A and B are shown apart, each in its own frame.
Chain A
Amino acid sequence: MRLIVPLQGVVQGRGGLIFGSLIPCALFYFLQLYLKRHRSPKPQSNPPSPTTSSPKLAEMTRTSSRSNLFSRSIGQVRISSRAISIAKPNESPYYIGLDKASEDPYDRLSNPDGVIQLGLSENRLCFDLIEKWMSENLGHSITGRDSGELNINGIATYQPFDGTMELKLAMAGFMSHIMGGAVTFEPSQMVLTAGATPAIETLCFCLADQGNAFLVPTPYYPGFDRDVKFRTGVELIPVHCRSTDNFALSITALDQAFNQTRKHGTKIRGILLSNPANPVGNLLSREMLYAILDFAQEKNIHVISDEIFAGSMYGNEEFVSMAEVLDSEGFDKNRVHIVYGLSKDLSLPGFRVGVIYSFNENVLAAARKLTRFSSVSAPTQRLLVSMLSDARFIEEYVKTNKKRLQNMHALFVAGLKGLNIRCADSSAGLYCWADMSKLISSYSEKGELELWDKLLNVGKINVTPGSACHCIEPGWFRCCFTTLAEEDIPVVLERIRKAVENTTDLLNSS
């Protein structure tokens, strides 16, 4: 009552004019302020990717100056909002563990108390084969001339940024071979990048705008958070898979996630799959591939199939590439893109060789331009052309690699079984997906991380906890076994046993 009368007095008459003009102006001003604040992309709340706290940078001698002290804090604020979140030390156990293991690496002879690295999916099983090849085929590895004459002109100068045709040809042959010869890859549909990491990022830049999203089945490779989200501003929407069906993907779950995301106003541009899956190691069946393609077609979205572990099979199941399915049915090929690389199957992660394989000319055209930022180093290309073109070597390598993988996998999984830790069914990859839920104190992420911490700091083994892979069920851990020698397995098992000594379940054999 007491408010209304003065208001009425103000609003009517001259005051009304003032208010009538002031209020819209004020509203407009606040609208501008609001828009301005929300103009730039929100800084990411989860600092994604790579390794954590880098070693403290050596202090440079600083000139003591007033302006220095004063503006240092301002200087920090004025880097990009992207950089602010990325520069923070990474809190993900995936990266913390990697750091710890690399600072104090286990060595059977020189550092038997070091941290055993089971968190990095690297394959050290077949280096002897590659070294043997090198020693028998030297001279033209770096230069490409059989005559023994060195000609650096061919490798030092500018090369096609998306890779030389020779390497693409060699790569096409290699990919075809490891996928059982069921697919032929066309070199002209290939774009080579400096590793699979930029391959994924490049595809995201091509297929999605800032604020769009990709559906990704969980659990997934922790690096996707960096590759997809870091600089592109594209989101990842998890599609949860469960242990009850061995973490198999279901179209129902995909559909649900798609609809929910759409309701929230975010546009889904595609599905990101890894097949063989990382971290579980299972394969997508042919039927499932059809179903995914149908789904993608219906929703008019892309499919990115990361097949980087295709040549690391140890099981008896048959690997079916997305490319193979496309060949056989009348699907719209323009929405399918395959990512590959030599880091896993050929154990050359340091060389930085990745592949984008697409059927979409426009994507290829754009990707080619983008490889300007991440090309394969020329000497490396030259070396690999030689290696990958050696059909006899590749055949022997793939066969031997599979045998050794099978062996290590069997030993490791059996060893874990002896500790009453079962693993998910898997046919490929350099790791197994172990269920340690019985060993955690509380069935939660907190309990899982406590166990992870115990394993790392007490047991001195670095494994990747499921939460880092966005697994919805706590207690699962990815253990990579291809960095080990056979003799190391009992050591690992013993350390696990020691780390969980107080957990009664471990001692009860069932």
Chain B
Amino acid sequence: MEFTRKNRQLLSRIATNDRHGENSPYFDGWKAYDSNPFHPIHNPDGVIQMGLAENPLCFDLIEKWIRENPDASICTAEGLDKFKDIAIYQDYHGLREFREAVAKFMGRVGGNRVTFDPNRIVMSGGATGANETAIFCLADPGDAFLVPSPYYAGFARDLRWRTGVEIVPVHCKSSNNFRITRAALEEAYEKAQRSNINIKGVIITNPSNPLGTVLDKETLRSFVSFVTDKNIHLVSDEIYAATVFSSPRFISVAEVMQDMDCNRDLIHIVYSLSKDMGFPGFRVGIVYSFNDDVTNCARKMSSFGLVSSQTQFLLASMLSDDEFVGNFLRESSKRLAKRHHVFTKGLEEVGISTIKSNAGLFFWMDMRPLLKEQTTKAETELWRVIINKVKLNVSPGSSFLCSEPGWFRVCFANMDDKTVEVALDRIREFVLQGKEENNHEADKSQARAQRWRKQNLRLSFSSSRLYDESLMSPHMISPHSPIPHSPLVRART
């Protein structure tokens, strides 16, 4: 339409480019779910949502607390006298009680081995806003950050879109369980330097999304000394810190810094209540930096994403309730552990393995045996089958920039126990069916293996360019992708 084209010219580059990353298949899966959501009674054949890392497992505990603490909600008779002061409060420092409560909570989640300073707690619009704010403060357009892959699909938007900063993925391999090592960082850094890319820092997610693993002390120490050596920043996204459900325990970068020679001005933490507490709707993101200038800058930027004072007030009460918090964290771990166990055991029974993980709201599933060939194309085909035939929305590894095809992230926390059974049944059925088909093609497998090896060599090149914003291979865009009424509006992490 001529008018639309002219219309689009009136818009900025940011408004019209694809750096928001929402055209990736990661978000395509939502459409299948949104148009046909599973319901145990009303729609038992619908798509089960397993691509959304939400944590409602302990909502009952929260509801109980809210009921028993009416003065925490300023909209109840008990809390009304506070209403005026809270409603008018828009200071970007944030309520003191809120900051203290969050600092205490973060300390608790870190096993009480670190004390967090409430004066360094800076608000932002969810973890999304926190990551973006950190980048705005640390880097200029054209700079780049090293990010170990596979990484959270939303980083493409959060780190790059409005900031103009680039991501340089550091690909990890399944051969060592996708562990990120200092050597890999060094190599990636040198390579970037040679290509004249200005690396401003490293972003790690610990616990990892999508792997669900935690970093050990030694590795964290090596990262801290790496960034100190190179004088670049380290942003540690710790939003899954309290979703650790078995050992080894979560270790914050703050803990590691305490007895190390390092440059504290380079270390920054991103936190949120969306995963640990299951409050993504509350939009509570935290930037915690050890660098005064960054803290000041981030605080000023927090005006663009302040947490509602009503929410601050509620959370200040809730998170200061030591007994409640202790009980919540314990219960949450227990329930996550149980859920994780049920799934991984169920998958093992049909020969599907997962990366050994002890945190997060998901697991990283190995579907390589089911791929026709070890290519991203085959992965995408398999994924479409899983969505459309098996009716499970899982997230393909390629949307996490994983260099090896065949891996899928499966979220397990956002459903009730009955749905878990249904999901497992569907997977079991699908896998067993697939095995049967494979047996029929046993004689062809040799030839396929040859092809796989050949293609594998070219693989890392093509998959790393796949999500270059200038490349949009047509088959990646879902034919149902509507603009502008895209359910991407409700894109979830």
Determine the chain A residues whose CB is within 8 A of the CB of B52 once the complex forms.
158
Chain B residues contacting A376 (CB-CB under 8 Å) are 283, 308
A495 CB within 8 Å of chain B: no
The contact string, 1 if C-beta is below 8 Å from chain B, for chain A 147-178, is: 00011110111111110000000000000000
**A206–B162 CA distance with the chains assembled, in angstroms:** 10
Q: Which of B464-478 contact A (CB under 8 A)?
A: none
Contact in complex: A375, B66 (CB < 8 Å): no
From the candidates A55, A375, A383, name the one contacting B126 in the complex (CB within 8 A).
Answer: A375
Pair B300/A159 contact, Cβ less than 8 Å: no
The one of A67, A212, A347, A375 that contacts B87, using a Cβ cutoff of 8 Å: A347
In the complex, the answer to whether B200 meets A78 with C-beta atoms within 8 Å is yes
Give residues 271-306 of B contacting A (CB, 8 Å). 278-283, 290-297, 299-301, 303-306
A-B contact count (CB 8 A): 313
A40 touches B88 (CB 8 A): no
A184 adjacent to chain B (CB < 8 Å): no
Nearest chain B CB to A182's CB is how many angstroms away? Answer: 27
CB distance from A100 to the nearest CB of B (A): 14
Contacting residues, chain B, for A150 (C-beta < 8 A): 63, 66-67
Expressed in whole angstroms, the minimum distance between the Cβ of A440 and any Cβ of chain B is 31
Q: Which of B11-19, B209-217, B235-243, B455-463 sits within the interface?
A: B11-19
- The reply to whether A127 and B83 contact each other, CB–CB distance below 8 Å, is yes
- Given the known A-B contacts A156-B280, A157-B280, A365-B483, are A194 and B87 also in contact in the complex, defined by CB atoms under 8 Å? no
Residue of A nearest to B293 (CB): A87
* A138 lies within 8 A of B66 (CB): no
Q: Which of B440-493 contact A (CB under 8 A)?
A: 483-484, 486, 488-493
Q: In the complex the two chains form, is B305's CB within 8 Å of A152's CB?
A: no
Which chain B residues lie closer than 8 Å to A226 at the CB level? 300, 303
User: Contacts A78-B231, A79-B297, A374-B125 known; A152 to B136 CB distance under 8 Å?
Assistant: no
For B13, give its contact among A102, A209, A369, A370 (CB under 8 Å). A209
In the complex, whether A343 has a CB less than 8 A from a CB of chain B is yes
A194 & B142 in contact (Cβ 8 Å cutoff): no
Q: Does B228 contact A (CB under 8 A)?
A: yes
Mark out the residues of chain A between 78 and 118 whose CB falls within 8 Å of any chain B CB in the assembled complex: 78-84, 86-87, 102
A135, A206, A335, A379, most chain B CB atoms within 10 A: A379
Name A381's closest neighbour in chain B (CB-CB): B281
Asked whether any CB of chain A lies closer than 8 Å to the CB of B73, the reply is yes
In the complex, identify which listed stretch (B35-43, B262-270, B332-340, B396-404) lies at the interface while the others stay far away: B262-270
Q: Is the CB of B293 within 8 A of A131?
A: no
List, in ascending order, chain A residues with CB within 8 A of B28's CB: none
Number of interface residues of B (CB under 8 A): 103
In contact, B11 and A71 (Cβ under 8 angstroms): no
Q: Please give, as numbers and ranges, the residues of chain B lying within 8 Å of A156 by CB-CB distance.
A: 56, 59, 62, 278-282
Report the minimum CB–CB distance from B411 to chain A (whole Å): 12
A131/B80 in contact, CB under 8 A:
yes
Shortest CB distance A147–B (Å): 13
Cβ-based interface call for B432 (8 A): no
Q: How far is the CB of B110 from chain A (nearest CB, A)?
A: 15
- Interface assignment of A201: CB less than 8 Å from any CB of chain B: yes
Known contacts A68-B263, A86-B301, A366-B15; A152 and B10 CB within 8 A of each other: no
Look across to chain B and name the residue whose beta carbon is closest to the beta carbon of A43: B140
A122 and B117 within 8 A (CB): no
CB-CB nearest in chain A for B263: A71
Q: Which residue of A lies closest to B76 (CB)?
A: A138
Complex: how many Å from CA A131 to CA B75?
Answer: 8
Let me know if B128 is at the binding interface, CB within 8 A.
yes
- Contact mask A20-61 → B, CB, 8 Å, 1/0? 000000000000000000011100000001110011011010
A364 to B281, CA, bound (A): 21
Pairwise interchain contact A377-B301, C-beta atoms closer than 8 A: no
Encoded as 1 (CB less than 8 Å from any B CB) or 0, chain A from 205 to 239 comes to 11111101000000000000010001110000000
A380 B308 Cβ-Cβ under 8 A: yes
- Given pairs A60-B264, A83-B294, A379-B281, 13 additional interface contacts (CB within 8 A): A50-B303, A63-B258, A122-B88, A152-B62, A160-B490, A206-B12, A226-B300, A348-B88, A350-B88, A361-B484, A369-B22, A372-B126, A379-B308
**15 A-B contacts (beta carbon < 8 Å):** A50-B299, A51-B300, A60-B290, A76-B265, A79-B138, A141-B76, A142-B66, A156-B59, A158-B490, A205-B15, A209-B14, A350-B90, A369-B157, A373-B162, A375-B283
